[in-house]
Structure 1
Amino acid sequence: MRYSFVFLCLMTVSFSSFAKCDDEAKAGVNWTGCDKSSLDLSGVDLQGAILRRVNFTNSNLSKARLQAADLSFSRLENTKFVNARMERVRLNNAKINEADFSSAVIDNARFSRAVIKQTVFNLAKLNKADFYEARVETSQFENTEIAKANFSRAMLVSANFKNVAGIEANFSQANLENADFTAANLTSAKFVEANLLNVKFNQATLNAASIQGAVIDGAVFTDAKLSSTTWVKYKRCRNGSVGICD
């Protein structure tokens, strides 16, 4: 009798764990480990939802509400988050490939150690977002807001940061080889000990920024504003410096 009771309990737990994947999309839903690929989830409310290890390949979550949701370790391949609300979302260790976050609000989000390839963040808000040790390849951040965002120790090779608003953003020890910061506002940003090989800073604002200890071989600073910028060897550029650290 005792063993029958234990077996019944185990079966109940098992069935309930499978049943959660059929739960409707709603705030706080637990879809851990579920396959939610190729679905139209545009506009749904998934605030605070537990979405760890979920497969969202080819799904559309445009205009969805995902504030404080946890998508850590999830698979986001060709997934759309256009105009989604994603403040405080967690995407740590997520696999993100050819996703679209255009115009999404993703302030205070966590992308630590995520693998991000050929993904679009154009016009998104990523203020205070954390990309610590993320691996970002050939992705687009054009016209995004990244004020006080943390990209320290991230791999950002060939990333497009044209026209970003990146006041006080932190790129210390990041690999930014071949990245493009043309016309970006990087006032007080940190590039300490970063790899800036062949990076374009044309017409960027780097006033009061720091690139001390950085590798800048091949980097281009044409018409960049460098007032009070801390240069590679701790030299401080004079006020009014443009293009060259005087």
Structure 2
Amino acid sequence: MTRVEGLWPHNVSPNRLAVLECKLAIWLRSQGLKSEIKVDNLSVLTQQAAAAGCDFSQLQKEIQTVIEAETDNFLELANFAGLNPLEDFAGARLLGANLTGLDLSGAELKGAYLRGSDLSDADLSNADLREVNLSGADLSGALLSDANLTQADLHRASLALANLSGANLTEANLTEANLSNCNLSDANLSNAILKNANLTQAGLALTNLTDADFTGANVKQARMWHDAGLSEQVKQDLIKLGAIFEE
């Protein structure tokens, strides 16, 4: 779904679209229609609301405010729509959104669809990112310390120079992700998939690596220290591939 017929133009920016879809989904729920932000049936539900005689006048004013705003800053657009960016976007669709450098620390974003979005240098510390789709997203330089990324999809995401210290990446999909120079100290990577990932010069001190899949990963000069869950055989294999174990 790219828009809801009649409520906004087809060529709005990804940031405006994310805010408008979220606003509409929350409004539909306030009208007694069970709408999850992540579903693709907002158009059908909107038609049902119209057929039920719901009053769209206030919603249309708020939508127009977002459309006409002289900014594309996500936080400012959310404010114009009367949304809380730290609470209202769990499960939201933010495909290709530009969130670079934003303070989203502690944000509730479980199940959000952020594929291809730009979160470079963003502050996502302590954020709830469980089951989020961040495939192909740019998280380079982002602060993700203590974030919960359990079962997150980070396929081909860029996390170069990102700070993931203390983050929970249990069962996360990091296939082909760029984790070069990334700080993963004290992170939980148990059962994470790191196939063909780039871990060059990454820091993995005190990291939980229980059953992590390093198949094809580049671990050259990755720095490891007192990591949990590594068998002696896996440790020796990683050393042969260029990882550095500091005692």
Q: TM-score, normalised by structure 2?
A: 0.68
**Distance in 2 separating the partners of 1:91 and 1:150:** 14
Unaligned runs of 5+ residues in structure 1 are 1-9, 188-205, 224-246
**Separation (CA, whole Å) in 2 of partners of 1:217 and 1:132:** 18
Q: Alignment partner of 2:183: what SS? A: coil
Instruction: Show CA shifts across 1:69-95 (max 9, x none).
Output: 111100112101111111100110011
Show the counterpart of 1:115.
158
1:36 CA drift (Å): 3.9
Residue in 1 that maps onto 2:170: 127
* Structure 2 residue 169 is the aligned partner of structure 1 residue 148: no
Which secondary structure state, in structure 2, belongs to the residue aligned with residue 20 of structure 1? Answer: helix
Matched, 1:70 2:113: yes
User: Which structure is richer in relative contact order (CA contacts within 8 A, separation 6 or more)?
Assistant: 2
Query: Are the structure 2 counterparts of residues 176 and 124 from structure 1 closer, same or farther at C-alpha, using a change threshold of 3 Å?
Result: same
> Is 2:135 the counterpart of 1:92?
yes
Q: Is the 8 A contact 2:119 2:137 kept in 1?
A: yes
TM-score (norm. length: structure 1): 0.68
4+ runs deviating over 4 angstroms: 24-27, 37-42, 217-223
Instruction: Tell me which protein shows more helix as a share of its residues.
Output: 2
Gaps spanning 5+ residues in structure 2: where?
27-35, 41-70
Tell me, yes or no, if the aligned pair for 1:35 and 1:54 is still in contact at 8 Å: no
**Shift in alpha-carbon separation, 1:137–1:210, aligned structure 2, 3 A:** closer
Q: How many residues align?
A: 193
Q: Which of the numbers 77, 102, 112 marks the counterpart of 1:59?
A: 102
Counterpart residue number, 1:236: none
1:15 equivalent to 2:9? Answer: yes
Identify the residue that residue 214 of structure 2 maps to in structure 1: 171
CA contact (8 A) 1:116 1:139 kept: yes
Relative distance call for 1:101 and 1:15 in structure 2 (3 A) is same
Match of 1:158 in 2: 201
